[in-house]
């Protein structure tokens, strides 16, 4: 992946441990109705080619693949060699837990099969910020990604939309941060902290100046002829995910100080109050996200 430090839904940089921790919250937040709409559209296609942008350790694949039927072919693209190297073990573990058949075909490819689906999957390194034009999308039916759009720039999103429009494929981009953060119980400086984070989110995450909370709306505007559906996919991080709250609070504190060092005292006081509530198992957190499904005009 591109540099994704200090984003509203990730600690400083991505790690396989962080992605494993957040996966249950990600999957629970995602829109079931949009997934069902995609499944219904896919039913008319005998083969289904999918490109997953910024795949990480294949969480998006694990969520979608069992729902999308037989004869799927997935290409997972990411710029983080460390995350790519974790994919085989993560898929093997997941397949064992779910009772799926998993066969490693090479160091970077595998086949999976369950009662209601079959898929081939390959993973490879790709700098999405620089090399999108080198990817062959000509036979692609779906371009997808998770927690990606808000990290990208207007120029990159225009390029992505042009690819989707040219190939007349579907797209599903999930968990795009929308600028909303709600801690309960409230603490002084909650609103100011969110405002600082939202400004910080528009800094360069590797794609140029990011659109941050505005990315999902901008992306939709680039596909005026496509059939577009959106749904809320907020993270709901309760007391059972205290470790996740603790990491996010600490990381957001760092990002806010980077954004406004003059407010360091207020930010530090906020962090101390918030971390105390987390330690007391007395805190919950909602982080606003949006899922977007686009289907070609002839769908």
Question: Average pLDDT of the chain?
Answer: 94
Looking at residue 7, its pLDDT comes to 65
Taking the CA atoms of 201, 205, 211 and 216 in sequence, report the sign of the dihedral they define: negative
Question: Is residue 63 scored above 90 in pLDDT?
Answer: yes
Phi-psi category of 238—alpha, beta or left, where left has phi over 0 and alpha has psi -120 to 50? beta
15 — pLDDT class (breaks 50, 70, 90): confident
Kindly report whether the global pTM for this prediction surpasses the value 0.85.
yes
Give the mean pLDDT of 89-114.
Answer: 98
Q: In the Cβ-directed half-sphere of 119, how many Cα atoms lie within 13 Å?
A: 28
Q: How far apart are the C-alpha atoms of 24 and 13, rounded to whole Å?
A: 19
For the domain made up of 16-178+209-235+288-295, the CATH class stated in words is: alpha beta
**C-alpha to C-alpha distance for 148 and 212, rounded to whole angstroms:** 10
Name beta bridge partners: 173: 145, 292
pLDDT category of residue 3 using cuts at 50, 70 and 90? very low
* pLDDT grade for 4, boundaries at 50, 70 and 90: very low
Q: Are 217 and 154 in contact (CB under 8 A)?
A: no
């Amino acid at each position: 992946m591109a540099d994704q430090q200090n984003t509203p839904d990730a600690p400083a940089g991505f790690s396989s441990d962080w992605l494993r921790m957040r996966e249950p919250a990600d999957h629970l937040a995602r829109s079931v109705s949009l997934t069902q709409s995609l499944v219904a559209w896919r039913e008319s296609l005998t083969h289904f080619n999918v490109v997953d942008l910024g795949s990480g350790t294949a969480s998006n694949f694990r969520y979608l693949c069992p729902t999308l039927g037989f004869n799927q072919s997935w290409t997972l693209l990411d710029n983080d060699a460390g995350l790519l190297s974790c994919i085989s073990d993560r898929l093997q573990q997941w397949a064992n837990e779910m009772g799926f058949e998993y066969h490693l075909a090479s160091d970077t490819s595998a086949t999976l099969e369950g009662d209601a689906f079959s898929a081939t999957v390959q993973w490879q390194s790709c700098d999405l910020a620089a090399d999108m034009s080198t990817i062959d999308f000509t036979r692609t039916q779906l371009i997808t990604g998770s927690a990606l759009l808000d990290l990208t720039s207007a120029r990159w999103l225009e390029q992505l939309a042009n690819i989707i429009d040219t190939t007349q494929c579907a797209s599903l981009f999930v968990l795009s941060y929308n600028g909303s953060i709600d801690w309960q119980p409230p603490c002084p400086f909650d609103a100011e902290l969110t405002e600082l984070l939202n400004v910080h989110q528009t800094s360069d995450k590797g794609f140029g100046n990011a659109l941050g909370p505005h990315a999902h709306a901008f992306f939709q505007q680039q596909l005026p002829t496509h059939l577009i559906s959106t749904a809320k996919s907020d993270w709901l991080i309760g007391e059972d995910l205290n470790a996740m709250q603790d990491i996010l609070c600490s990381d957001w504190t760092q990002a806010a100080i980077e954004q406004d060092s003059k407010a360091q005292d207020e930010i530090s006081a906020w962090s101390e109050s918030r971390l105390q509530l987390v330690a007391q198992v007395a805190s919950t957190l909602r982080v606003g996200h949006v899922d977007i499904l686009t289907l070609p005009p002839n769908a």
